[in-house]
Amino acid sequence: MQQILEAIQAGASSDEFANLVIPESYRAAFVKRDETAMFDGIDSWDKDPRKSLHVDDVATPELAPDEVYVAVMASSINFNTVWTSIFEPLPTFGFLDKMGRQNEWGKRHSLPYHVVGSDASGVVVHVGSAVRNWKPGDRVTVHCNYVDDQDPSAHNDSMLASNQLIWGFETNFGGLADLAVVKANQLMPKPTHLSWEEAAVNALCSSTSYRMLVGDHGARMKQGDSVLIWGATGGIGGYAVQYVLNGGGTPIGVVSSPERAELLNKMGCEAVIDRRAENYQFWSDEHTQDESEWRRFGKRIRELNGGEDVDIVFEHPGRSTMGASVFAAKRGGTIVTCAATSGYMVEFDNRHFWMKLKKLLSSHFANYAEAYAANKLLNQGRVQPLLTATYDLEHVGDAALSVHHNEAEGKLGVLCLAPEKNMGIDDPAKRERIGEEKITIFRS
Ligand code: NAP
């Protein structure tokens, strides 16, 4: 891997990259199949990713014709790596075994270890024989929608493909490693003004928020719409705020501290609810929701939103908030959801839903076109990376724990092959034009 790194740093030509030897093994972060019971009987909160995530050398898998090897300069922590590392709601080895039954190439994935990570920035070092649009030496980011495009169901909208998977979560050989195996149709050009770690943190979260709010398959926010955004300084929430502001809408951001409220104001989001300070208790006990708390929440939203209910609710906490989210959407409004961080058995009052003709929309990551559109906005400097802090791969467990415990705003980057931070900026003049302050807003 040292030779590959030197070639990247020396700006080697495509031919020089193509002649490099791919090492037989590489450094990666993974969980082990024989440790999936290690947290049995322990409370979710106390399950510690530092114990389950290992960093060591693993064997380099063979490359399928439609795949490339990417030398990963940086990656990021997503919540799916937290789920994998605490083996909830179920160990991810089941996904790998299912893949193993798909076909010959799928078999490579069913292993005693699972290399995790669903984001990456880096350099293509070798391409399979069927790859046409990418070549060794290309500087790329990687999105995590993994589909077999020879399946007819993968066309129209590839998120509806019967074999659609999330790379590094439902597949092996993910991005938290020095080398990754990805399909050519996961590649996107690296935004030229960003460092490796700034470029690495976006694809999963920004594309998810793009589909939920902007793309044809989501809530299709339009100018003037007001959007309630839970976790508005979190991974997907922070990109959602930017999409709403860019699209001429009004974000109403929900966060849990005065510092996060201030950060939202700095981003240009004026309407902010500090859910901790307001002490909403939507559930009065484990089984009962308190409608008067939904009403108190709705009243606060209207105070901030010119007396109106919101057009769209950007929902992902799940069980703890879904009742309030359905209540808070306006008559005919849309609740769009992609997750259930606090619990997936959600409950809402159907009367508020049907009598007010609301819509509940499910969303999951993004197809290639949507991920590409989101990447383009980053490359144009119209959406900023939400990098808050950067870890090295050896400390991936600390980074995952921080996300698990909701300690960090925005996104946590992880340096893989990149020896230090702030490397990989190809167009400093463009960076200056866009503005350092904007690009680093979550680090100031
Ligand atoms: P994150 O960076 O940890 O942010 C989540 C935010 O949600 C936190 O900052 C927190 O904000 C808020 N939150 C957490 N628990 C809450 C609760 N009980 N009630 C209200 N707010 C709560 O995570 P993320 O990357 O944004 O991901 C959020 C969820 O979406 C995760 O479950 C993840 O797995 C899922 N996700 C799904 C997809 C998909 O394709 N389906 C893609 C990306 C993410 P405050 O404490 O400041 O309010």
Ligand 1 close to Cβ of residue 260 (< 6 A): yes
Ligand 1 pocket check: which of 45, 341, 404 to mutate, most ligand atoms within 8 Å of Cβ? Answer: 341
Q: What is the mean pLDDT of residues 402-407?
A: 96
The answer to the question of residue 419 being in a domain is yes
Task: Based on the fold, state whether residues 289 and 234 are members of the same structural domain.
Answer: yes
Ligand 1 close to Cβ of residue 273 (< 6 A): no
Instruction: Tell me what percent of the residues of the chain surpass a pLDDT of 90.
Output: 98
Q: Which atom of ligand 1 is nearest to the CA of 411?
A: 2
Q: Using CA atoms, how far apart are residues 362 and 39, in angstroms rounded to an integer? A: 31
Which residues, including other chains, have CB under 8 Å from residue 149's CB and lie 6 or more apart?
Answer: 155, 158, 185
Ligand 1 pocket check: which of 79, 170, 272, 297 to mutate, most ligand atoms within 8 Å of Cβ? Answer: 79
Please tell me the distance between residue 275's alpha carbon and the centre of ligand 1 in angstroms: 14
Task: Based on the fold, state whether residues 197 and 235 are members of the same structural domain.
Answer: no
Please tell me the distance between residue 315's alpha carbon and the centre of ligand 1 in angstroms: 9
Task: Based on the fold, state whether residues 46 and 128 are members of the same structural domain.
Answer: yes
Domain boundary among 362, 391, 418: 362
Ligand 1 pocket check: which of 316, 346, 386, 388 to mutate, most ligand atoms within 8 Å of Cβ? Answer: 316
Task: Based on the fold, state whether residues 327 and 340 are members of the same structural domain.
Answer: yes
Q: What band does 150 get if pLDDT is binned at 50, 70 and 90?
A: confident
Instruction: Indicate which CATH number applies to the domain containing 274.
Output: 3.40.50.720
Q: Using CA atoms, how far apart are residues 143 and 372, in angstroms rounded to an integer? A: 9
- Give 206-259 pLDDT, tens digit per residue: 999 999 999 999 999 999 999 999 999 999 999 999 999 999 999 999 999 999
Q: What is the pLDDT of residue 247?
A: 97
Q: What band does 340 get if pLDDT is binned at 50, 70 and 90?
A: very high
Please tell me the distance between residue 404's alpha carbon and the centre of ligand 1 in angstroms: 10
Range of the domain at 225: 219-362
Instruction: Tell me what percent of the residues of the chain surpass a pLDDT of 70.
Output: 100
Q: What is the pLDDT of residue 151?
A: 87
The answer to the question of residue 183 being in a domain is yes
Ligand 1 close to Cβ of residue 406 (< 6 A): yes
Q: What band does 149 get if pLDDT is binned at 50, 70 and 90?
A: confident
The answer to the question of residue 211 being in a domain is no
Q: Using CA atoms, how far apart are residues 323 and 317, in angstroms rounded to an integer? A: 11
The answer to the question of residue 212 being in a domain is no
Look at residues 23, 39, 43, 203 and name the one whose alpha carbon lies nearest to residue 117. Answer: 203
Task: Based on the fold, state whether residues 59 and 89 are members of the same structural domain.
Answer: yes
Q: What is the pLDDT of residue 147?
A: 94
Domain boundary among 345, 362, 379: 362
Q: What is the pLDDT of residue 211?
A: 98
Ligand 1 close to Cβ of residue 321 (< 6 A): yes
Ligand 1 close to Cβ of residue 208 (< 6 A): yes
Q: What is the pLDDT of residue 383?
A: 98
Q: What band does 102 get if pLDDT is binned at 50, 70 and 90?
A: confident
Q: What is the pLDDT of residue 272?
A: 98
The answer to the question of residue 214 being in a domain is no
Ligand 1 close to Cβ of residue 230 (< 6 A): yes
Q: What band does 287 get if pLDDT is binned at 50, 70 and 90?
A: very high
Task: Based on the fold, state whether residues 225 and 156 are members of the same structural domain.
Answer: no
Instruction: Indicate which CATH number applies to the domain containing 193.
Output: 3.90.180.10
Task: Based on the fold, state whether residues 159 and 80 are members of the same structural domain.
Answer: yes
Q: Using CA atoms, how far apart are residues 412 and 322, in angstroms rounded to an integer? A: 27
Tell whether the model's pLDDT for residue 444 goes beyond 80: no
The answer to the question of residue 210 being in a domain is no
The answer to the question of residue 213 being in a domain is no
Q: Using CA atoms, how far apart are residues 275 and 352, in angstroms rounded to an integer? A: 22
Tell whether the model's pLDDT for residue 29 goes beyond 80: yes
Q: What is the mean pLDDT of residues 327-350?
A: 97
Query: Which residue is associated with the tokens 């409950």?
Result: 347
Tell whether the model's pLDDT for residue 350 goes beyond 90: yes
How many domains is the chain built from? 2
When the pLDDT of each residue in the chain is averaged and rounded to a whole number, the result is 97
Ligand 1 close to Cβ of residue 289 (< 6 A): no
Q: Which atom of ligand 1 is nearest to the CA of 340?
A: 32
Please tell me the distance between residue 239's alpha carbon and the centre of ligand 1 in angstroms: 12
Task: Based on the fold, state whether residues 46 and 111 are members of the same structural domain.
Answer: yes
Strand 359-362 relative to strand 329-337, pairing: parallel
Domain boundary among 338, 362, 386: 362
Please tell me the distance between residue 357's alpha carbon and the centre of ligand 1 in angstroms: 27
- Number of Cβ within a 10 Å radius of residue 306: 9
Q: What is the pLDDT of residue 440?
A: 97
Tell whether the model's pLDDT for residue 96 goes beyond 80: yes
Task: Based on the fold, state whether residues 231 and 300 are members of the same structural domain.
Answer: yes
Tell whether the model's pLDDT for residue 419 goes beyond 80: yes
Task: Based on the fold, state whether residues 18 and 128 are members of the same structural domain.
Answer: yes
Q: What is the mean pLDDT of residues 269-283?
A: 98
Task: Based on the fold, state whether residues 231 and 174 are members of the same structural domain.
Answer: no
Tell whether the model's pLDDT for residue 43 goes beyond 80: yes
The answer to the question of residue 109 being in a domain is yes
Task: Based on the fold, state whether residues 281 and 401 are members of the same structural domain.
Answer: no
- Give 104-124 pLDDT, tens digit per residue: 999 999 999 999 999 999 999
Q: What band does 148 get if pLDDT is binned at 50, 70 and 90?
A: confident
Q: What band does 441 get if pLDDT is binned at 50, 70 and 90?
A: very high
Please tell me the distance between residue 40's alpha carbon and the centre of ligand 1 in angstroms: 24
Look at residues 181, 178, 199 and name the one whose alpha carbon lies nearest to residue 189. Answer: 199
